[in-house]
Structures are given as C-alpha cells and as structure tokens.
Structure 1
Amino acid sequence: MDNPKTATPVPRVLLTGFDAFGGDVLNPSWLAVQALHRRRIYGHQVVAAQLPTVFGAARVALARLLRAHKPALVICVGQAGGRAAISLERIAINVDDARIADNAGAQPVDTAVLPGGPVAYFTTLPIKAMLQALQGKGIPAEVSQTAGTFVCNHVFYGLMHELATRRGLKRTRGGFVHVPWLPGQGQPSMTTQDLVRGLRLAIATALATPADIAKGAGAIS
C-alpha cells in the first residue's frame, strides 16, 4: 500500500463557471462545470469552482484558486447568449467595457483589466485540436476571435496574466470557453448534457495534445 505521505498527488484540472447574472436564475457555465467536479479525465482530477460575475472579485477569486490547487490545466467557462456553439476563445484583451452592470452594480467603460499590462494574451489551449475533436463527435463548436469585454474577458485576461507571470504556474496551460444558453433561456441553445459532454471532450483533448496545430501563443505588447 502506498504511503499517503509519499504517494504522488493526482494532477488537477481547474474548471470554473459563473453564477447567474443579467436577470437569469441560472448560468449554464456553472451547471456544466459543476457536473464535472471530481471526475477523472486523462489521469487528472477535475476541481470545479464558481466565480462571481463581478469585475475585480472574479479575478481575485481565480488567483486564489490557482494558488490553492496549482493545476496543470485551467479552463474558465462562461455563458454567451446568442451563440449556437461551444466557443473556444483565442484571445483575451486588456479592456473592461460593460454593456450591462455586473452583479455588484459596476459597469466599467473603456478601462484596463490590468493597467500597464500587455494589450492581449493568446490562449495556451490547443483550440484547433479541441475544435476538431468536438466537431468530430457532432458537437457544435467554433474558434472565437473575441471573448467580449464583460466579466468573461476580464477573467480570461486575468487567468493568462497569472499563468504568464506567477511563479509555479509557468507550465500550466489555460484559456476560456463560452457556452450557449440552455433551451429554457432562449435560442440558439444546447442541453446541459451536450455541454457537459463537450467540456469533458475539450478537457481530454487539451490534456492529450501538447502542441496545437499552427497556433500563436503568449502576450501581445
């Protein structure tokens, strides 16, 4: 029997979703993420956590989770009403510009996520490989060129800045995925079952793919 003090810890995947916002009573990102909590995928254990839909507080909460879990992979998930597919986000930009107020009533306009930070960061997820895997299983998916300028992009940018600058996280890969509404929220939509299936496949593909198909990476100054 392994000595618990010497056994190799199981590497972790940190998966985050958001609480409900904008008058909704639920958020499909959290329902799908929560369903994968403690699942084993490709030799890694999933840790799911909910982030508040609040500028600043969401980024602080994410940084705390990164320090606590030291994950090998991080995928933050958010809702994008009006999109018909699971959107694999390519780029996070250093801009907060809110069309509506967040859950704390804040509505920043043309402000920086991190003053003095790079203009943008590319994802370090293998989004092209993930796209092929999802579409190959009949799951609607797309590579998206914008994560918007609301709290989703705020968290995405904060994540990539942490991974690029925080000691102990340089080997951690991460990025952001948007999911459509659930059927009860509006159209187009996807079922919770399909969202969970898609996220599980996306995680497995990311873990199994050390290098993507011809994709840039890093910060844009």
Structure 2
Amino acid sequence: MDSFVKYRVLVTGFGPFGTYTENPSWLAVRTLHDTTITTAHTRGKPPKGPKADAIHLTALNIPTVYAAVLSTLPGLHAQPPVLPEEYTSPASRALPEEGFQLIVHVGVAGPGPLRAERLAHKTGYQLPDHERQSPPLIIGKATLRGFGSPRYGDDFADELFTSIDVDGLVDDLTSGPDPLPLETSDDPGRFLCDFIYYCSLAESEHAGRGTPVLFIHCPPIGQKMSTAEVAEGVRRIIANVCSKL
C-alpha cells in the first residue's frame, strides 16, 4: 500500500438485471477503480494541502444475485479482505491488511437525485434475482424470506442502521455554492440493494471492527444525472465521510 494513502475504500456496483444489460451503478463505479482522491475533494480536481488525506478507491462488480451477495460479503469485511477469485485487477494485489476503512455500495433506483440510505431490512424480500432465484427462505418461518440463522439469527435486528451520519452528510453536500443532488432515504427497496446493505451492515458487526457501511442509490443514465455526474457524486460522498472518520 502506498504510504501516503490514509484511507482505503471499497465501492461496489451491481451487474445486469431486468432491462439493464449494463447496470448504471457499475458504469459509474467502475470509473473509480484504482483512483485516489482526498478528504478535501470537491467538484473537479481535489484540492491539495496539509489537511487533505489521501483516499484510495477499489471498485468491485457484484452480480445482482442473492447467493453472490451471501458468498462475497463476508470476505469483503475480512482482515485482510478476500475478494472473489475472478477479481484479478492490480489493486487486488495490494489490499489493505487491516481491512477497508469504508465500504460503499451503489445501486440503481428510479429517476431523481442520489439517495443516501439510512437503514436496511432483514426480511420481506420477494422478488427473484437476475438468475430468477428467489430470496433465501428463513428456516422455521414458513414463507418469510431474508436473513436468518445460523449466521444472521436473533442477534441482528429487523432493521440495521448505518453508523454514518446520513443527515449530516446530506446537509453538508446539498449546501454551499455547488450543491450535490442528494437526499436521505429510509426505503432501500427490499431487493438486492436492500439485501446487500443489510448483509454488509451485519458483516461489519460480525467482523467486530465497526467498518462504516453506506448504500447510495443512483438514477438510471440520463434521468437527472449522467454516469459521470453519478461517479463524481460518489467521490464527494466518500470524501465527506472519510473526512469525519
């Protein structure tokens, strides 16, 4: 790891599903891979100075598949992280031994601004994934689907909340001369976006290191924001969160 980098951040996007042969979340997230920004990042070039700490970004594409989330997320929170075998980018050879300091998941939603999600749900999933597989059944709960024992049992609440101050994040980035189109949300959607968020928050607890986790919803391409604008918005969100770690 480069000695000047203070924070290592993992950003995930999703693979295809439904009518999306290329997922808008991954089209934005992949442009961030193996790049470095700073905690003072604003639109355009990040300013440099003694108070600006460097942040290295690693991007990962996760299939829009329940089983893929369940098999991948524990490794992302491990120390050191374990990425899927097919992930062979140069950054995979320099993963932080101490683990990522922040994990941000990005997924597509409806038209509008970026949405920073505050919470995720344990149960209530019904929709089939990209491989037409249903969400996992909770043993002993009849038709209830979502997370259950043994790994996600009664120790985990029906709703898990991010440790990040989402309201403060939104206030910071929507004020000033260059406001970001960003709003707070408590409805991640009971599909793969909600599913990966809950899984990641639970795995953060499992790992015992308190790694902050955030989920960002982006709009479809060209519906209020372009791919480049989404990527820039994610950069600014990450810079703001890391500046307060």
Using structure 2 for the length normalisation, give the TM-score. Answer: 0.74
**Structure 2: which 5+ runs fail to align?**
39-53, 82-94, 136-142
Question: 1:71 and 2:112 equivalent?
Answer: no
1:15 to 11, 18, 36: 11
1:95 maps to which residue?
Answer: 123
Name the count of aligned residue pairs: 198
Compute the displacement of 1:23 (Å). 2.3
Question: CA offsets, 1:123-170, max 9 Å, x none?
Answer: 122312321233232321110011111111111001000111214x32
Amino acid at match of 1:203: I
**Structure 1 contact 133–202 (Cα < 8 Å) conserved:** no
1:157 maps to which residue?
Answer: 198
Compute the displacement of 1:95 (Å). 1.5
**Distance between the aligned counterparts of 2:166 and 2:224, measured in 1?**
21
1:178 maps to which residue?
Answer: 217
**Distance between the aligned counterparts of 2:118 and 2:186, measured in 1?**
6
Question: CA offsets, 1:72-131, max 9 Å, x none?
Answer: 011111111x240100001111015233x2112113364122342321110122312321
Question: CA offsets, 1:148-197, max 9 Å, x none?
Answer: 11111111001000111214x32x211211111102xxxx4410111011
Assess, with a 3 A threshold, how the Cα gap between structure 1 residues 178 and 36 changes in structure 2: closer, same or farther.
same
**Structure 1 contact 87–144 (Cα < 8 Å) conserved:** yes
**Structure 1 contact 96–154 (Cα < 8 Å) conserved:** no
1:111 to 145, 167, 172: 145
Secondary structure of 1:11's partner? strand
Question: 1:52 and 2:43 equivalent?
Answer: no
Using structure 1 for the length normalisation, give the TM-score. Answer: 0.81
Amino acid at match of 2:188: A
**Distance between the aligned counterparts of 1:175 and 1:195, measured in 2?**
15
Question: CA offsets, 1:54-81, max 9 Å, x none?
Answer: 013113212222322410011111111x
Amino acid at match of 1:27: N
Secondary structure of 2:19's partner? coil
Compute the displacement of 1:10 (Å). 5.1
Assess, with a 3 A threshold, how the Cα gap between structure 1 residues 106 and 12 changes in structure 2: closer, same or farther.
same
Question: Percent of aligned positions with the same letter in both sequences?
Answer: 29
2:92 maps to which residue?
Answer: none
**Structure 1: which 5+ runs fail to align?**
211-221
Runs (4+) of structure 1 exceeding 4 A deviation are 6-10
Secondary structure of 2:130's partner? coil
**Distance between the aligned counterparts of 1:141 and 1:153, measured in 2?**
18
1:214 maps to which residue?
Answer: none
Secondary structure of 1:106's partner? coil
**Structure 2 contact 16–22 (Cα < 8 Å) conserved:** yes
TM-align CA RMSD: 2.1
